[in-house]
């Protein structure tokens, strides 16, 4: 949404200038920084996906993810350690959900094109 606002603002500003003049440089920098932020987010998501244990990707129906994660915890738990693990698992879950949604959208577009 922010990107759309920015493009609209850039379009309006361009119309105000004469043909010889260029819009202010800050408008282009801001747009560039968004794409840079996006690439950083994509890279961070990729790192999180790569950090997920391979056992989660095995197509085994008897795999118990809860038991697997509990076995990895130390015998002496602290609140900080529990919170840290919870945060890690939540981040992984968000990234996986986001990736699954992206794949569904890609496949849905291909499916719609095929049925046209």
For residue 59, pLDDT over 50 is answered with: yes
Cβ-count burial 6-43 (b if 16+ within 10 Å, e if not): eeeebeeeeeeeeeeeebeeeeeeeeeeeeeeeeeeee
> Token match 């049925």: residue?
115
Structure confidence at residue 113 (pLDDT): 80
Structure confidence at residue 21 (pLDDT): 55
Largest CA distance in the chain: 71
Structure confidence at residue 32 (pLDDT): 47
How far is it, in rounded angstroms, from Cα 13 to Cα 26? 12
Structure confidence at residue 18 (pLDDT): 47
How far is it, in rounded angstroms, from Cα 46 to Cα 18? 44
How far is it, in rounded angstroms, from Cα 92 to Cα 49? 7
Structure confidence at residue 2 (pLDDT): 59
Which of 25, 101, 8, 91 lies closest to 52 in space, CA to CA? 91
Instruction: Tell me the per-residue pLDDT of 63-104, one tens digit each, with 9 for 90 and over.
Output: 888 999 999 999 898 999 999 999 999 999 999 999 999 889
Structure confidence at residue 34 (pLDDT): 56
pTM over 0.85: no
């Amino acid at each position: 949404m922010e990107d759309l606002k920015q493009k609209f603002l850039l379009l309006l500003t361009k119309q105000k200038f004469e043909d010889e003049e260029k819009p202010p440089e800050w408008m282009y920098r801001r747009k560039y920084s968004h794409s840079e932020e996006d690439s950083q987010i994509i890279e961070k998501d990729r790192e999180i996906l790569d950090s997920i244990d391979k056992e989660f990707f095995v197509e085994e129906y008897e795999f118990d993810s809860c038991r697997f994660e509990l076995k990895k915890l130390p015998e002496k738990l602290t609140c900080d350690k529990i919170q840290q693990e919870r945060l890690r698992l939540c981040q992984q879950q968000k990234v996986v959900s986001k990736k699954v949604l992206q794949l569904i959208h890609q496949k849905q577009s291909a499916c719609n094109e095929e049925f046209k």
